[in-house]
Amino acid sequence: MFQLIETICFENGAFQRIPLHENRMNRSRYHLFGRTKQLSLNRLLCIPESLIDQKTKCRVTYSDQVEEIEYEPYIPKKIRSLQLVRDDTIDYTFKLKDREQLNRLLNQRGHADEILIVKNGFITDTSYTNIAFLREGKWFTPASPLLSGTRREEYLQKNLLFPCMIRPDELHFYEEARLINAMLSLGDTEPIPTTSIFQLTIDNG
């Protein structure tokens, strides 16, 4: 049976974006396992007293039902450069615990800190985040991500982020990139200049 994960941010005394996380979990359970009974994260999550004043990463492992819930202080990675890699067959529609495809691509990052995946000619995601690009004061994000993240969805709903099909040779139109996911907001990460996004090489496509 497939195992999936949901990563939820606890910050400022509350779990963040719970309805979006619940929607994704329940959609996944329905599509993969035929489950129609809705899970309620508010009934399942309980922050440990020792972590209540910290930004905390909550990791929910589930299949047709919740199997494990883990909590740990969140320590962000330092990402300053990205290597474009190509994979036209990768499918990460569901947030699977099995990251074999992503890890295989991550091994192609060379001297960069992280990868940025190109599928069918268009930029999608890094190995663990969605991405946003700044252009003339507006933030844009790939219109066809590998995984539709909850932070990305929140920004789209609030018109803080706009979907756009972006090709690798169009990156010079943008000033910088920032990584976003459940744990990372636009303001949490250091800007990555688009000059620090390395183009595809002969060896990886």
Query: Phi and psi at residue 97, in whole multiples of 5°?
Result: -70, -35
In the prediction, which pLDDT does 81 show? 98
Tens of pLDDT, residue by residue, the chain (205 residues): 789 999 999 999 999 999 999 999 999 999 999 999 999 999 999 999 999 999 999 999 999 999 999 999 999 999 999 999 999 999 999 999 999 999 999 999 999 999 999 999 999 999 999 999 999 999 999 999 999 999 999 999 999 999 999 999 999 999 999 999 999 999 998 999 999 999 986 444 4
Q: What are the structural domains, with CATH classification, of the chain?
A: 4-73 (3.30.470.10), 82-198 (3.20.10.10)
Between the CA of residue 170 and those of 113, 135, 146, 164, 195, what are the distances in Å?
Answer: 21, 11, 19, 11, 12
Torsion of CA 165, 190, 196, 194, to 10 degrees: 40
In the prediction, which pLDDT does 79 show? 97
Strand order of the β-sheet with 176-180 is: 162-164, 138-142, 130-135, 176-180, 192-193
